[in-house]
Chain A
Amino acid sequence: KQEVTQIPAALSVPEGENLVLNCSFTDSAIYNLQWFRQDPGKGLTSLLLIQSSQREQTSGRLNASLDKSSGRSTLYIAASQPGDSATYLCAVKETSGSRLTFGEGTQLTVNP
């Protein structure tokens, strides 16, 4: 059974820092990996989706990488801002079916 782990569970940084969030998964037979952002009391917003054949995806200040063989993905946030404060979740889709397996998220606080 696929398991997804996110470390650290919480992270607090000063504004302007570059930071890395980690996601690991136990079964490397994945179809893709998706990163989401969740603000308190709200739904999830899709940030980036990386197909299994890709190594990275970029959107603005966000860069997500995927190393399928080692079961790891990272989300890099450049020049962090207080507005980046949120919980970030990763989720993997396996090669069959439509379900996602989610990590429990990293709660990020960017201090002004």
Chain B
Amino acid sequence: DVKVTQSSRYLVKRTGEKVFLECVQDMDHENMFWYRQDPGLGLRLIYFSYDVKMKEKGDIPEGYSVSREKKERFSLILESASTNQTSMYLCASSFPGPCCGHEQYFGPGTRLTVT
């Protein structure tokens, strides 16, 4: 079974802090994604990565950056956390080959509160 893990289930940070959210997958997937999920807005893509050191902006990249130094790990960084970044953050991974249809597997989520 594919396993995607996230470093924290719950996180409370102060405004202005630098925040790191970590995601690790164990299936050698090329693609990794960071989403945020908010009531009434659904899932929105922040960034994704299709290979080590490769990244692309999603729909809402402002205020975020990412790092992918190893294939299995994809980090989301909030450079200076703000209260409007309070949200549920979800990481996902997928394999782009025809065998697997880009099926996305999700981690358990990190509920981030910025006070």
Contact A43 B103 (CB under 8 A): no
B106 contacts across to A, CB distance below 8 A:
36, 43-46
Chain A, range 21-62, C-beta contacts under 8 Å to B: 31-32, 34, 36, 41-46, 49, 51
Closest residue on chain A to residue B108 by CB atoms: A43
Provide the bound-state CA to CA distance between A51 and B103, in Å. 10
B50 at the interface (CB under 8 A from A): yes
Please report the total number of A residues contacting B with Cβ < 8 Å: 22
Q: A45-B106, A93-B102 are in contact. Are A102 and B48 (CB under 8 A)?
A: no
Contact A42 B108 (CB under 8 A): yes
Chain A, range 87-112, C-beta contacts under 8 Å to B: 89, 91, 93, 98-100, 102-105
CB within 8 A of B45: which of A32, A44, A99, A104? Answer: A99
Contact B101 A99 (CB under 8 A): no
CB within 8 A of A31: which of B102, B105, B109? Answer: B102
Interface of B, secondary structure class, is: strand
Which residues of B are in contact with A by a Cβ distance under 8 Å?
4, 31, 33, 40, 42-43, 45, 48, 50, 58, 88, 90, 92, 94, 96, 101-109, 111
Provide the bound-state CA to CA distance between A6 and B26, in Å. 32
CB within 8 A of B111: which of A32, A41, A99? Answer: A41
Closest residue on chain B to residue A99 by CB atoms: B45
Contact A42 B101 (CB under 8 A): no
Contact A46 B103 (CB under 8 A): yes
Contact B42 A102 (CB under 8 A): yes
Closest residue on chain B to residue A32 by CB atoms: B101
Contact A51 B48 (CB under 8 A): no
Most A CB within 10 A of own CB, among B43, B48, B94, B107: B43
CB within 8 A of B109: which of A32, A41, A104, A105? Answer: A41
Contact B58 A99 (CB under 8 A): yes
Contact A31 B101 (CB under 8 A): yes
Instruction: State the Cβ distance, A93 to closest chain B Cβ, in Å.
Output: 5
CB within 8 A of B102: which of A32, A36, A105? Answer: A32
Chain A, range 71-97, C-beta contacts under 8 Å to B: 89, 91, 93
